[in-house]
Structure 1
Amino acid sequence: MGGFAEANPPTLHDLQATADDENSQRATNNRKKLTMKITAFECFKVPPRWLFLKITTDEGICGWGEPIVEGHAGAVEVAVQEAAEYLIGQDPTRIEDIWQTLYRARFYRGGPVLMSAIAGIDQALWDIKGKAHNLPIYEFFGGRVREKVRVYSWVGGDSPNEVASAARQRMESGFTAIKMNATSQSHYVDSFDKVEEVLARVGSIREALGSALGSAFGIAIDFHGRVHKSMAKVLARELEQFHPLFIEEPVLPENNEALKEIAHYTTIPIATGERLYSRWDFKQLLHDGVVDIIQPDLSHAGGISECRKIATMAEAYDVSVAFHCPLGPIALASCLQLDACTHNVLIQEQSLNIHYHQNGDLLDYLQDPNVFAYQDGHVNVPSGPGLGIQINEEAVREAAKIGHNWRNPVWRTTDGTIAEW
C-alpha cells in the first residue's frame, strides 16, 4: 500500500536547539537595541564647589557623573574634555574597556586630576548602562548585600568649636555618628595644650550625649593630614579614653609608612585613603597591615569600577571600607550603589549641611530630594535605574551660569610657616 512516510517526531535535542536559536536571536535583537554611541559631553561647574558631567547617547539615554578635585574643578574639566576626544562615537556599555583605555593608553597616568576625570566618566557610563537595562547599578555587581547604609554627619568647621551642641542636634535629627576635624594649624612638634584642646572638644561631645546614646554614638576624628607623626602618636594615645569610631588621616598619605609606628600607640581603628587614587596606590597600604578602614573616593579614585576593585582587595586583608564623599548628589548616589553590594562597607560619609557649602547643598540639584531621606542614622539604597537619582537639569544649568571658584584656605602657623590645611 502506498502512502507518505510519517515524519519523525522532534527529539529533545531538536527542541533544545530550537529554543537555543530563539534565545540567541532574542539576545542578538537586544544587543542591537542596546548598541549605543556616545554623542556628547557637557560639564557644569556648580556651587558650592562641584563639577557635574552629562554624557549623551544617540539612543537618548543620558548618564551623570561627578568628576571633581575640590579646588581644581577647571583642571579636571580639561582632563574630561581630553578624554571625550576618544569617547565620542564609542559604545558606552563597554565600561571596562573604556576604563582600561583611559588609564593605560597614556604614558603618564594616575594622580588626582586624571583619575578624577576617569571617575566621573565611569559614574556616567554606569548610569547609562543601568538606565538601558532598567536596573540599579548594584545589580551588575551581584545584587544587594544590605537594605540600607549607615551614614554620618559632619560637625564643626575647619577650626572646630561648639561641636557638642552640633553633635546633639545631629543626634536629635536621627544620626548615630558624626565626624569632626581634630585640630587647626599644627607644628611638627607642638605644645601639649593643643592636645588638651582636642581632648576637651571630643570630651564635650561624649558628655553632652552621655545620657542618651553614650559610647554607642560614633565619633570619627579627622586629623586631615594636619598633624605630623610626633603629635599624631600623642593624640592617638590620649583619645583612646573617648572610644572614637576611628581616627582619619593621622598623617599625610605621603607619610603612610608612619602609620605602623602610630598603630603601636593606640587601639583606635585607623582610617585613610581619600588621597589615594587607584588600586596600585592602596596595594602597599593594605600589604603593610596597619590600616583598619580605607576611604577611597568614587569621584577621585577611578569611579565605581575602580573602587569596587579596591574594596575587594581590602576585604582580602580583613579591612573595612568607608567611601569618602564630602561632595554632591551624584558622588553620593555612586557611593550608595557600591555600598549596597559591598560586604565590607562600614559607614558612608555624606555632605548635607557640611561647612564647605555656600550657595548650594546636597539636595539642590535633585528632582526628588527624598531619595536621600535619612532615618535612624541610615539611608535606603536608591533602587531606581542607574544611579537611582534624577538630576534637575534645569537647576544645574542655572547654577552653572553662576559657577564657582572654590579654593581651600591657606594656613600658616604662629611663626609664619605654611601649615597643612
Structure 2
Amino acid sequence: MKISDIKTYPINVGFGSQLVVKVETNKGIYGYGTSGLSGRELAVIGAIEHFKTSLIGKDPNNIGAIWQDLYRGQYFEGGRVLTAAISAIDIALHDIKGKKLGVPVYELLGGKQRDYIDCFASLRFTSKEELFTRAKILIAEGWNVLRLAPAEYEQDSHATFEPRASIVKIANWVSELRKEIGSAPTIGIDYHHRLSVAETVSFIQRMPAGTLDFIEEPIRDEKPNAYETLRKMIDIPFAIGEEFASKWQFLPYLEKGLTQFARVDVCNVGGLTEAMKVAAIAEAHYIDLMPHNPLGPICTAASIHMAAACPNFNWLEEINTPAEQAGTNSPDFYPIQPILEGARYLLPTTPGLGVEFNEELALNHKFVPVETPRLKRKDGSYTNW
C-alpha cells in the first residue's frame, strides 16, 4: 500500500474555520486528519503542498518514520505551521492503519484503558446573567466540570479589553457563582493569555479560597520562568499547553511542575505520534491530560482515541454543550462523527477514527478565512485575544 494523494479542504463551520486533510492510498483506503492552527489554514495548506512531494509513494503504515521525515526533512524544522500540517497528516495515517487492520485507532496506541471519555463544558459568557443561566443549565444536564471563558468584549475587528476592569468584575461573578452552585462542581477559568503576572495574582486574591479549581493560561507561555514566578505567588493549579507545537515546548512545564493539567492539542502538537509522547512525559511527572478540543469531529475523535489509551487522562474539552451549541460538529460536513451522550463520549468500535467527511459539500463551499478579534486597551495599545 502506497500514499497516492493528499487533499486539503478548508471550510467554515459555526463561528470558526477548519482544515480537513485527506490522505489517499493506491488500495482505496483513505484517512482524515485536521490541523489545529485556526485562522491560518492557508499557511498550513502551503506546508502540506511542500510535504506532498516527499509523501507520494511512501508506505502509510510507517507512521513513526514518516513523522520523523516530515519534522527533520527541512533545515528549519518545527514551528506551529509545520507541526499543524504534520498533525493532520499523522492523524490521517492512523485513520488509514486502523481501517486497514479493522480496529479503532486506540488499539494502535496500546488499547483502551477506560470505557468512556468524560468532558468538561467550555462556557462562554459576556454577562453575569449569562454565566449563571448557562452554568445552571449545564449542571442540571449532568455536567459537573465547568471551564469558564469570559468574553466581555465586542466581537468586532477592534474590540476593547481592559485587564484590571475585567478581573474585578469576573472575580465577583465567579465568587457568587461558587456560592450559588455549591462546592461539588469543578470550576476552572481560561483567561486566554490576557493578563500579566501581577494582574493574575490580583485576580486570584480577590476570590475566597476554594472558588477556583484551576486557571488556564492567564499569561503568555513563551517564557516558563514567568510561570515559575507566578507559581510562587498563587497556589491555584494551572492548565497550560494548547499552543505548544512539540514535546520540547511541553518539557519545561512538565519537568518543573508548572502545569497540573497538560492542555495537549493533538492537531497542533504533531498528531497522535507526538501527543502520546507528551502524555508519557506527563504521566512520569504525575500530570493529567486535559486535551484542547475546539475544532470539530476529527479533532474530537483523535482526542478520544488518545484519551482512551492514556492512564493519566482527566477531561476532554467540549464546546457543543446544552448551554452553547457552537456548531463545530456540523452533520452536513460530518455525517458520521462521535456522539456526545450527556457529558461524555462512549468509545467508538468502528475501524479507524470513526469519522466521515462530506467532500462534495466541501468542494462546493466557498472558504472565507476567519480572523480572531484584535483586542485593544482604551489607550489604543494592542493586547492578547
* TM-score normalised over the length of structure 2: 0.91
For the Cα contact (< 8 Å) 2:175–2:207, is it kept in 1?
no
Tell me the equivalent position of 2:168.
Answer: 196
Match for residue 171 of structure 1?
Answer: 139
Q: Which runs of 5+ in 1 are unaligned?
A: 1-35
Q: Is residue 161–residue 376 contact of structure 2 (8 Å, CA) maintained in 1?
A: no
Corresponding position of 1:249: 217
Counterpart residue number, 2:379: 415
Given the alignment of the two structures, is residue 285 of structure 1 paired with residue 253 of structure 2, yes or no?
yes
Q: Which residue of 2 aligns with 1:3?
A: none
Change in Cα spacing, 1:161 to 1:263, as seen in structure 2 (3 Å) is farther
CA contact (8 A) 1:271 1:294 kept: yes
Query: What is the CA distance between 1:251 and its match in structure 2?
Result: 1.1
Q: Which has the larger radius of gyration?
A: 1
1:153-302 correspondence runs (5 A): 153-157=121-125, 162-182=130-150, 191=164, 193-208=165-180, 210=181, 214-239=182-207, 241-302=209-270
Preserved CA contact (<8 Å) 2:161 2:378: no
Q: Give the secondary structure class of the aligned counterpart of 1:419.
A: coil
**147-156 or 334-343: bigger deviation:** 147-156
The reply on whether 1:380 has 2:352 as its aligned counterpart is no
Summarize deviations over 1:342-397 as a string: whole Å, max 9, x none: 0111100123169795xx5314233245x32222x221122211112233444444
Specify the alignment match of 1:8 in structure 2: none
The alignment partner of 1:379 has SS state of strand
| Secondary structure class of the residue paired with 1:93 | coil
2:43 aligned with 1:43: no
From 389, 393, 415, give the equivalent of 2:355.
Answer: 389
Quote the residue 2:55 is aligned against: 87
Q: Which amino acid aligns with 1:42?
A: K
Bigger drift between 321-330 and 122-131 goes to 321-330
Does 239-248 or 287-296 show the bigger shift? 239-248
Task: Name the counterpart of 1:96.
Answer: 64
| 1:413 alignment partner AA | R
Q: Which runs of 4+ in 1 moved over 6 A?
A: 158-161
5 Å-filtered alignment, 1:49-64, equals 49-64=17-32
What is the SS of the residue equivalent to 1:331? helix
Is contact 1:159–1:181 with CA below 8 Å preserved after alignment?
no
Contact 2:123 2:319 in 1 (8 A): no
Gaps of 5+ in 2: 153-159
Percent of residue pairs bearing the same amino acid type: 29
User: What is the rounded CA distance, in whole Å, between the counterparts of 1:61 and 1:328 in structure 2?
Assistant: 22
Question: 1:328–1:351: 8 Å Cα contact kept in structure 2?
Answer: no
Q: Report the 3-state secondary structure (helix = DSSP H, G, I; strand = E; otherwise coil) of the residue aligned with 2:356.
A: coil
Match of 1:241, SS state, is: coil
Partner of 2:281: 313
Matched-pair contact (CA < 8 Å) for 1:183–1:198 = no
Q: Is the 8 A contact 1:236 1:262 kept in 2?
A: no
Structure 1 residues 81-113: Cα deviation after superposition (integer angstroms, max 9, x where no partner): 111111011111100000000001211121210
The CA deviation at 1:151 is 0.5
AA in 1 matched with 2:339? F
Structure with the larger helix share? 1
RMSD over aligned Cα atoms:
2.1
Q: Which residue number in structure 2 is paired with residue 31 of structure 1? A: none
Residue 195 of structure 1: CA displacement? 2.5
What is the CA distance between 1:240 and its match in structure 2?
5.2
Determine helix, strand or coil for the equivalent of 2:206. helix
Deviations 1:150-189 (A, max 9, x none): 11222225788621111112223332222222475666xx
Give the structure 2 partner of residue 7 of structure 1: none
Q: Please tell me whether the aligned partners of residues 327 and 351 of structure 1 are also in contact (alpha carbons under 8 angstroms).
A: no
**Alignment partners' CA distance in 1, 2:111 and 2:330:** 26
1:412 aligned partner, one-letter code: K
Structure 1 residues 124, 367: CA separation in 2 closer, same or farther (over 3 Å shift)?
same
Closer/same/farther in 2, CA of residues 142 and 160 from structure 1, 3 Å limit: farther
- Write the distance in 2 (CA, Å) between the matches of 1:229 and 1:266: 10
Assess if the C-alpha contact under 8 Å between 1:62 and 1:128 holds in 2.
yes
Considering Cα pairs closer than 8 Å and 6+ residues apart, tell me whether 1 or 2 has the greater RCO. 2
**Equivalent residue letter for 1:414:** K
